Amino acid sequence: MTLAHSLPVLEFMSSSLPGNHNTLILNRHSPTKLGFIRPTNPKQKFNFFVSQKVKPIGFFGCNLCDSNSGFNSRQLFYECYAAQSSRIGPSSRKHKAFSIKRAKTRALNDHQLFSMGSGFYSSRQLGTSRLTSSGCKILSGGALRIPNTKSFKHSSGISGACEVNWSNHKFELRSKSVLSVDKAVERERSGGGLGSENSYDAIVIGSGIGGLVAATQLAVKGARVLVLEKYVIPGGSSGYYQRDGYTFDVGSSVMFGFSDKGNLNLITQALAAVGCEMQVIPDPTTVHFHLPNNLSVRVHREYREFIAELTDKFPHEKEGILKFYGECWKIFNALNSLELKSLEEPIYLFGQFFQKPIECLTLAYYLPQNAGDIARKYIKDPQLLSFIDAECFIVSTVNALLTPMINASMVLCDRHFGGINYPVGGVGGIAKSLAKGLIDQGSEILYKANVTSIILEQGKAVGARLSDGREYFAKTIISNATRWDTFGNLLKGERLPKEEENFQKVYVKAPSFLSIHMGVKAETLPPDTDCHHFVLENDWKKLEEPYGSIFLSIPTVLDSSLAPEGRHILHIFTTSAMEDWEGLPRKDYEAKKEIVADEIIRRLEKKLFPGLRSSIVFMEVGTPKTHRRYLARDKGTYGPMPRGTPKGLLGMPFNTTGVDSLYCVGDSCFPGQGVIAVAFSGVMCAHRVAADIGLEKKSPILDAALLRLLGWLRTLA
Ligand SMILES: CC(C)=CCC/C(C)=C/C=C/C(C)=C/C=C/C(C)=C/C=C/C=C(C)/C=C/C=C(C)/C=C/C=C(\C)CCC=C(C)C
């Protein structure tokens, strides 16, 4: 049975499938906007279809269980992940099936229903719908039962919650929005698509992992999101590029957050939220350190093996080693026990304190502390302390005394807990999958969209303007540019908010990198070569100096598909400042690139791979200028670096900013650099934005109090 309407806004069709199946067909814009669907009969089965005309979107806030095994009204699902699958059921050719994967289960109460009930069309502010069929009634704001209604269609009417008992199954549809359908249709006709005012719930500027995680998390909550990306592919520093049969990772190839256990596998979770999964290859050695005095330490995936290797090198410090890393585990375990959401959202934060008081107090205690101070409590050997500096340098590009203890613990333990896992096909696959997932959720990503300014109206961020003059508008703007770029470039000429002044007092831009992407003949590398290496040859003092230490990854050791047969890929990074490269005539610039790359190759030949130079078949050198150009980061910076000794993570800003409706996400937000860290900032940002646009619970009074408290705490840093 089809419900006709000249301009269908919300349309359902029912058809019977063989056996005990019923089919609910969701047309046009409806799927994500349903809000809440609850069957009352646990034995009945349902399949969900969405018209191919619609970009397939996932379900958030729909309480569904596996589409093939049927609903279970006792087990309501808070979040469901939908993935497109092969067509099931005898629906029309136009319809595609979703297989619904279950996520976290949670019994719901009425309060949660309301809080979840973004309602259909809430993001477009349509949301007004009336059921018109035999026995259909609608009430504003309250639940309504409609017995044995087999069909219903929309028409303009009153918004609110409605509950339909449909063929013995109860569907509950809730909406918070108030615009009549007529108005909505009018808006649709007048071009409610790209570019119209307030078309979106959120615009995300930049498609780095932080931006994409924020965007996808919002999209699955029911928001309509537009991501604006300057480049032609997503991912920013976690992107990829292909040349001559090689697939190179733009940035780090050391991937945290990809495990299948705990709460800290944020990449796995972010992908699953949009129905994606990536195959990964476990890395048996996180990193192989090659350090002064011929100190060589392999960080094995197995914690016991790593500790055995380290205590073998420093037997007199065995107790100190166990105590330092033991303290890291205390923090890691506390982190891993929490449900990670926005620390700027009081209902969540107090809820976590209530459920896990010891863990939260542990984290609050370590929030203002640095790893170097804690290491010095237990360890005296200067060489071992320098080793811990090198361990922290990988995390933060600064030594242990300047590295927040929470961040150090996260990295030093997760590599043994979830492990380092390389995504098959390269790191770029993460961003590609998230971008696809975003589109599957009904949101959009626009490439070659170079945002030049954030549009303000009476001090409120309302849109983004591109270099070609196009303008897009949304209720909220999320900047995945660094805070320096956001406030220095995108809001040029505006007064710098006090919070940003404070941030810039505490943090400076970390230097950029010189990168060398290489294809080499495979026979140059010994057969048991590890994937990741850190090289600092003779002098510990050079650790933090430009070109002092070398990061080297050989991802083809794990995934040979990234290079032509008989070849390996080498990704080489070393810190380098923009000042070294600016103002050079083209010829000198190219010559300097060659000289610097040559020296790095010489060092690697000497320390690791004799004959490396003669085995190179492809090479591309990137300087800080390259990183600035492609990643749109001021001075090509790697992220924030403390000016002096920081108070741990205390000074790091979260996602809200001093500008109304403007949020930041990425590595200049809490907790800092690293793919998993920016993924966390994306999760936090989406939660805070969702609360502010009415997709999550919110308490304005508590909000104001918490935001003031956090602002004050930051001034102590
Ligand atoms: C607010 C108040 C007052 C209180 C509260 C308390 C609490 C509850 C708290 C909480 C907290 C939290 C949750 C936190 C969290 C955190 C996190 C998650 C963190 C994370 C982090 C991470 C990181 C940092 C990472 C990083 C990584 C990296 C950087 C990596 C890198 C790599 C590379 C560079 C590569 C290398 C290479 C070679 C060696 C070759």
Main-chain phi, psi angles of 685, to 5 degrees: -65, -45
pLDDT at 73: 28
375's CB contacts (< 8 A; 6+ apart) are: 324, 385, 388, 400
Q: Is 411 in the pocket of ligand 1 (CB under 6 A)?
A: yes
Main-chain phi, psi angles of 466, to 5 degrees: -95, 165
Q: How far is the CA of 313 from the centre of ligand 1 (A)?
A: 28
3-state secondary structure of 234: coil
Q: Is 254 in the pocket of ligand 1 (CB under 6 A)?
A: yes
Q: Is 407 in the pocket of ligand 1 (CB under 6 A)?
A: yes
Looking at the fold, whether 153 and 25 belong to one and the same domain comes out as: yes
Domain boundary among 372, 390, 419: 419
Looking at the fold, whether 27 and 169 belong to one and the same domain comes out as: yes
Residue nearest ligand 1's atom 36 by CA: 394
Residues in the chain: 717
Domain boundary among 386, 419, 452: 419
- What letter represents residue 581's amino acid? W
Q: How far is the CA of 692 from the centre of ligand 1 (A)?
A: 25
3-state secondary structure of 626: helix
Concatenate the DSSP letters of all residues of 193-206 into one string: STTSTT-EEEEEE-
How far are the Cα atoms of 460, 519, 553, 641 from residue 457, in angstroms, in the given order? 5, 50, 47, 33
Concatenate the DSSP letters of all residues of 392-431 into one string: HHHHHSS-GGGSBHHHHHHHHHHHHHT--EEETT-THHHH
Q: How far is the CA of 62 from the centre of ligand 1 (A)?
A: 32
How far are the Cα atoms of 12, 82, 163, 346 from residue 175, in angstroms, in the given order? 16, 21, 11, 25
Q: How far is the CA of 206 from the centre of ligand 1 (A)?
A: 21
**Which tokens is 260 given?**
């299948």
Give a yes or no: residue 225 inside a domain: yes
Main-chain phi, psi angles of 572, to 5 degrees: -120, 130
Residue nearest ligand 1's atom 26 by CA: 674
Main-chain phi, psi angles of 73, to 5 degrees: -70, -15
Domain boundary among 163, 192, 221: 192
3-state secondary structure of 282: strand
Spatial distance between the Cα atoms of 455 and 474, rounded to a whole number of angstroms: 10
Looking at the fold, whether 53 and 150 belong to one and the same domain comes out as: yes
Structural domain harbouring 662: 200-238+424-504+643-715
Tell me whether 0.85 is exceeded by the ipTM. Answer: yes
Pairing type for strands 21-26 and 45-51 reads parallel
Contact 402, 372 (CB under 8 A): yes
Looking at the fold, whether 315 and 334 belong to one and the same domain comes out as: yes
Spatial distance between the Cα atoms of 301 and 299, rounded to a whole number of angstroms: 7
Spatial distance between the Cα atoms of 334 and 325, rounded to a whole number of angstroms: 14
How many Cα atoms sit within 13 Å of 487 on the Cβ side?
Answer: 18
Q: Which CATH number fits the domain that encloses residue 231?
A: 3.50.50.60
β-pair partners for 22:
16, 46
Give a yes or no: residue 672 inside a domain: yes
**Which tokens is 590 given?**
């190219």
Number of domains in the chain: 4
The minimum-distance atom of ligand 1 relative to the CA of 335 is 13
The radius of gyration of the chain from alpha carbons, rounded to an integer in Å, stands at: 27
Through-space distance between the first and last CA atoms of the chain, rounded to whole angstroms: 64
**Which tokens is 504 given?**
């810039």
Q: Best substitution site from 410, 417, 638 to test ligand 1's pocket, by max atoms within 8 Å of Cβ? A: 410
Spatial distance between the Cα atoms of 232 and 36, rounded to a whole number of angstroms: 37
pLDDT at 436: 96
Give a yes or no: residue 61 inside a domain: yes
Looking at the fold, whether 609 and 677 belong to one and the same domain comes out as: no
> What's the average pLDDT block by block, 10 residues per block, for the chain (717 residues)?
26 29 34 35 36 32 31 28 28 32 31 25 24 26 29 27 30 29 35 52 98 98 96 94 96 94 96 95 95 97 97 98 98 96 95 96 97 98 98 94 97 97 97 96 96 96 96 97 96 93 94 96 94 96 96 97 97 96 96 97 97 96 95 92 94 96 97 96 98 93 93 88
Give a yes or no: residue 670 inside a domain: yes
Q: What is the DSSP letter of 492?
A: T
Looking at the fold, whether 462 and 479 belong to one and the same domain comes out as: yes
Give a yes or no: residue 285 inside a domain: no
pLDDT at 105: 30
Is the peptide bond between 646 and the residue preceding it cis, with omega within 30 degrees of 0? no
Looking at the fold, whether 565 and 455 belong to one and the same domain comes out as: no
Q: How far is the CA of 18 from the centre of ligand 1 (A)?
A: 51
Number of H helices, E strands in the chain: 18, 27
Residue nearest ligand 1's atom 11 by CA: 363
Contact 234, 212 (CB under 8 A): yes
Q: How far is the CA of 410 from the centre of ligand 1 (A)?
A: 6
Q: Is 287 in the pocket of ligand 1 (CB under 6 A)?
A: yes
Residue nearest ligand 1's atom 9 by CA: 363
Location of structure tokens 């013995």: 168
How far are the Cα atoms of 485, 504, 653, 659 from residue 496, in angstroms, in the given order? 12, 10, 15, 9
3-state secondary structure of 117: coil
Looking at the fold, whether 385 and 449 belong to one and the same domain comes out as: no
Contact 250, 243 (CB under 8 A): no
pLDDT at 199: 82
Location of structure tokens 């058809």: 15
Give a yes or no: residue 264 inside a domain: no
Q: How far is the CA of 407 from the centre of ligand 1 (A)?
A: 4
Q: Is 395 in the pocket of ligand 1 (CB under 6 A)?
A: yes
Q: How far is the CA of 61 from the centre of ligand 1 (A)?
A: 29
Give a yes or no: residue 330 inside a domain: yes
**Which tokens is 321 given?**
């080693």
Beta strands in 162-256 (DSSP E): 162-166, 169-173, 200-205, 225-228, 240-243, 246-249
Q: Is 394 in the pocket of ligand 1 (CB under 6 A)?
A: yes
Spatial distance between the Cα atoms of 611 and 631, rounded to a whole number of angstroms: 33
Looking at the fold, whether 524 and 433 belong to one and the same domain comes out as: no
Spatial distance between the Cα atoms of 665 and 124, rounded to a whole number of angstroms: 24
Looking at the fold, whether 44 and 151 belong to one and the same domain comes out as: yes
What kind and span of H or E run contains 364?
helix 357-366
Looking at the fold, whether 324 and 413 belong to one and the same domain comes out as: yes
pLDDT at 688: 97
How far are the Cα atoms of 289, 424, 525 from residue 521, in angstroms, in the given order? 23, 21, 8
Q: Is 266 in the pocket of ligand 1 (CB under 6 A)?
A: no
Looking at the fold, whether 23 and 145 belong to one and the same domain comes out as: yes
Say if residue 43 is exposed, middle or buried (CB neighbours under 10 Å; 0-12, 13-18, 19+). exposed
Give a yes or no: residue 701 inside a domain: yes
Residue nearest ligand 1's atom 27 by CA: 674
